[in-house]
Structures are given as structure tokens and as C-alpha cells.
Structure 1
């Protein structure tokens, strides 16, 4: 125990660098699950406490989401890859959790509808990261928390594809707030399977409109997608 304590800073960095390298090389992709603590500990020759510390850092950076328990939906799932300045934008992401939900939704409607239209009018926008997240969301083993984390990452990926650094920074700052109200709304959904299937179809529809260079449809689909989930799941009781 004493040796692990003295080496702890170096040990957890070993785990962090291992996972980040696999993400950057494509060996791990959004939707994949990391090996368990015991397996990572044995593979990398570090203590399990160091593995846990590295996983906490990866979760704070928005790269993984962890679920407690056992079974196919437990452990850590990849929800994003390093890039887009996510580490530098973390302060914005944390600060966003205090915003009123209605304000977050209104801001999303303005920003994301504009982003979708602009992408449709752009020349060959890079939608590969967004499409990778859509593929990950097709997994039937995802818990709602994991699905919605990938969902928020998809919307951020579209913002990053726009190349507008201010919009990307704003969306990154809103990310935790978006995940928070989306997850809170799950309790109001009678059939999560049907709702998640609809959300996936809407996501595909947005990407399809962008790829067809149909800016009007891309804007409308994005607006309806965001406002539809909010209307279905959230009752805003905050004072006006």
C-alpha cells in the first residue's frame, strides 16, 4: 500500500494516458465500454485506487460516463473523444448547471438551429464525429444516463463541426445543464424505448438534412427535436 501511495500521481496518469491514447488512435470509440477496474489494474500494473482516480478525471473531462452496479450496462462507457478544447472549456460546463432549464432550451433553439442551417450551407462539413456518436446511440444496452450523455455529445459535435469557436464554447458550457434536464425528464417518459427510438430518428433526420444541403429542413428538424423533448418531459415551474 505504501508503494502505491507514493507512486499514485504517476500511476493514475499512466491509466489516463493509456485510455487517451486508445481514444486518439481509434482503438476505443464512443459507445465502447472500458475494461473493469480489476482488468485495467492488472493490464497496466497499477493499483485499483489509481484506476478509480483516472476514471474520475476522464468523467470530469466529459470523455466517459460511469454507472454503478453489475451487468452489461455497468462500468464506464466512452461518450466522447479528446478534442474541441473540452478541457479548457470545463469551467463553462460546470457553471452551466446553475442556469434555468427554460433559458438553456431557448439558447439551444437559437444556437443549434442556426448551426444546423449553416452546416447545410457549408461545403463538405465534417460530420464524422457526430455520425460516430449516432452509431453508438444505436446500442440496445445503453442506460438512459449513457444514451443522454451521448446525445449531448452529438449536439456538441455538430457545434464543433461549425468551426465557430464561440458557439462551440457556449455549447460546451451548456453540456452539463443539457444532460441534467434531459435526465430529469426521463421520469416523465412512459415508454423510454419508444422515445429513445424517436430521438435517434430525429438525430438521423438532422444529419440527413445537412448532408442534402437542405438548410430550412435542418433548422426546422433541430428546432422541433429540441423543443419536442422539452415539451414532452419538463414542466417549468420557475418564476417568469
Structure 2
């Protein structure tokens, strides 16, 4: 008989092993709860608990309903311990949205500036591929914002600074969560999405031009404009994008 209190770990280990060994990649759908339960010999409640943990860690995104965007979808690969610790902090107490935005402004403007100023230009091929996907067809908000968050993480990874990359990876779920919450307040998501895509291209162009000041300014404007546009009240981001009731930060 399976030890149910620890059975979710069996599911977690199995999925993470498939990710690390390349059998699962970002964009792949996980089997349904029933199929995973039968394949791994655990209860469906254990499968749900494992998926909740994977979502907190930023490895999967889950959506209810039917169709190609429903179920559990792989959105990232396992990162290092620092990223996991930060994601678990989000799971426990959350981070104030204002603090997340301020941290992004510090880290991402530095990344863009350094990428532009580097004597040997880092490859932005992966970042450009993500932009091509975003522009290839109209995407649901959740999918668009998931790729958006991955684009920003990819730039951090391109910098070669492992601490910055790990920090951005740890914040990824929080960034995506506040972006999704804010999207619901916009008068026109399609208009904002079109502007974001143009701004992403401007960021890449500024970096590739070698103009560090322009790259820094473009990233700062991109992040701060979206935050100002969504006009979210101050609150903490918790797992799966749910906010707490007590205002925090300024």
C-alpha cells in the first residue's frame, strides 16, 4: 500500500526526472490526474498536491476547462536551489507587488545594460524565438504572459550572471502572477499585448545596437509602464496568483 502522506513526492520526482532527462519540455502537456495516478500508483489527491508544488516552483501552469490550453502545461525547466528557495518563500508568505517591480527594475535594467555593453555580444537567439512565438498568432492572456516572463528570464540567463539568473527564475512565478492579475484590469488586452510585443523588440534592438544607456532606459520604461497601466492596489503575490487581503508596501 502506498504511503499517502508522501505519495505526492513520487509524482514530483517522476515529473522532475522526465524534465531533467528531456522526456518533457516546456510546452508539453502532462497526462491527466487519472492517468498519472494509475501510472504511478498513487491517489489523485497526491497528484493534485504534486502539481500544486510544481506550480509554486514555476515549472507548470494549470488551467481548468477543456481545449488545448487546459490541464497542466510545462512552462520551465528545474533551476538551482536559490530559485527554489525564493519560490518557496512566495508559497509561504508572498512578496509585495511593489517590491517585485522594484527588484525587476534593478536587475533587468542592469542585465540589459551589461548585455549591450559587453565586448562580445551574447546570443539572444532564444529570446528572439520566444518573441516569434508570441507574434505568430493571437495567444490567450495566460499563455502570452507565461512566454513574456520566460523572455525576461532568458535575457537574465544570457547575461551569464548566475545569481541574477537564479533570482529572476525564483521571481518568475510572482512576475507572471501579478501580470495576469493586472491584465484583468486593462481596458483592452489586445492593444496592450500589441504594445508589449513592440517593446520587446525594442529591448532586443537596443541591446544588439550596443547602446547600454538606451537598453537600460527601454527596459525600465517597459516594466514601469505596464505596472502603472494595470494600477493594481498594493498586496502580496501568493501561489497561483491569489492576493492576500492585507495591503503591503507602497
**TM-score, normalised relative to structure 2:** 0.74
Change (3 A) 1:12 1:167: same
Q: Distance in 2 between matches of 1:120 and 1:48?
A: 49
What is the RMSD of the two structures over their aligned residues, measured on CA atoms?
A: 3.3
Pairing 1:154–2:151 present? yes
What's 2:210 paired with? 213
**TM-score, normalised relative to structure 1:** 0.76
Q: Distance in 1 between matches of 2:93 and 2:173?
A: 7
Change (3 A) 1:131 1:8: farther
Pairing 1:227–2:227 present? no
What's 2:114 paired with? 118
Q: Name the stretch that deviates more: 40-49 or 184-193.
A: 40-49
2:18 is paired with a residue whose SS is helix
Q: How many aligned residue pairs are there? A: 235
**How far does residue 174 in structure 1 lie from its aligned partner after superposition?**
4.0
Do the aligned partners of 2:4 and 2:43 also contact (CA within 8 Å) in 1?
Answer: no
**Aligned pair partner of 1:87 in 79, 84, 91:** 84
Do the aligned partners of 1:65 and 1:146 also contact (CA within 8 Å) in 2?
Answer: no
Change (3 A) 1:41 1:95: closer
Change (3 A) 1:132 1:228: same
| 1:137-188 CA-partner distances (Å, limit 9, x unpaired) | 4575854234323323332332233233443454345444433432221122
Change (3 A) 1:144 1:13: same
| 1:114-157 CA-partner distances (Å, limit 9, x unpaired) | 11111223334354654565456457585423432332333233
What's 2:161 paired with? 164
Q: Name the stretch that deviates more: 43-52 or 177-186.
A: 43-52
Gaps of 5+ in 1: none
Gaps of 5+ in 2: 235-246
**How far does residue 60 in structure 1 lie from its aligned partner after superposition?**
1.9
**Aligned pair partner of 1:107 in 99, 103, 110:** 103
Change (3 A) 1:193 1:173: same
**How far does residue 87 in structure 1 lie from its aligned partner after superposition?**
1.8
Do the aligned partners of 1:15 and 1:50 also contact (CA within 8 Å) in 2?
Answer: yes
